[in-house]
Amino acid sequence: MRENTIYNILHSDHETVSGLFQRMEAAEGAATRERLLGLLKEELMAHSQAEDAVFYRPLKESEATRHLILEAQEEHRVVTRVLGELERLSPENERWPARLAVLKELVEHHVKEEEGEIFKTARSLFDRAQERELGTAFLQQKKLVLAELRGSEAASAASASPAQTRASARP
Ligand SMILES: [Fe+2]
Ligand SMILES: [Fe+2]
């Protein structure tokens, strides 16, 4: 079994995302596209937020990696924006696959730089013990973010109906 270093864990998440993109490209029905987009959003958001808090934070403090991390954070921001734009587009719209393709290219470019230059420089900064500690901390943080994301989605779904009730109760 591969060691639970931060690199192996992040890489395996990247593979999960790439698998989701493949399934989304093959999906034709609106319901399937929506369901897969929900899974992709959850995975991308939890991954990037935990990655930022656990892996990017110490790297941002180092002169050797600061510029790479600043660029990676900008890429996270753009990915989040395009993801939101894809969510707002009807899965039946003919532009949906095109927007998905752009999102996939953004993510692939980001992952390539992350697993390339960023991992390479990080390996010269962290020792083996730190690489495993970061891996554990990442998994814990990702779990927290996932719980938060699921909680806030449930809360916004629940708040939609009382608001409607209040509006309709007005004289
Ligand atoms: Fe990543
Ligand atoms: Fe990233």
- Distance from the CA of 2 to the center of ligand 1, in angstroms? 18
162 part of a folded domain: no
Query: Is the Cβ–Cβ distance between 45 and 145 less than 8 Å?
Result: yes
129 part of a folded domain: yes
Q: What's residue 165's pLDDT? A: 44
- Distance from the CA of 68 to the center of ligand 2, in angstroms? 11
**Segment 49-101, tens digit of pLDDT:** 999 999 999 999 999 999 999 999 999 999 999 999 999 999 999 999 999 99
Q: What's the rounded mean pLDDT across residues 131-157?
A: 94
106 part of a folded domain: yes
CA distance 156 to 55: 30
Task: Name residues with Cβ closer than 5 Å to ligand 1, which is an ion.
Answer: 10, 51
Q: Which of 49, 115, 39 is nearest to 76 (CA)?
A: 49
Overall domain count for the chain? 1
**Segment 102-127, tens digit of pLDDT:** 999 999 999 999 999 999 999 999 99
Q: Does the pLDDT at position 167 exceed 80?
A: no
pLDDT over 90, % of the chain: 85
CATH of the domain at 133: 1.20.120.520
Residue span of the structural domain in which 65 resides? 6-149
70 part of a folded domain: yes
- Distance from the CA of 120 to the center of ligand 2, in angstroms? 14
Q: What's residue 153's pLDDT? A: 82
154 part of a folded domain: no
Q: Which ligand is nearest to the CA of 110?
A: 2
Q: Does the pLDDT at position 168 exceed 60?
A: no
Q: What's residue 20's pLDDT? A: 98
Query: Is the Cβ–Cβ distance between 17 and 47 less than 8 Å?
Result: yes
Single-letter amino acid, residue 58: P
99 part of a folded domain: yes
- Distance from the CA of 102 to the center of ligand 1, in angstroms? 17
Mean pLDDT of the chain, nearest integer: 93
- Distance from the CA of 169 to the center of ligand 1, in angstroms? 48
48 part of a folded domain: yes
- Distance from the CA of 27 to the center of ligand 1, in angstroms? 24
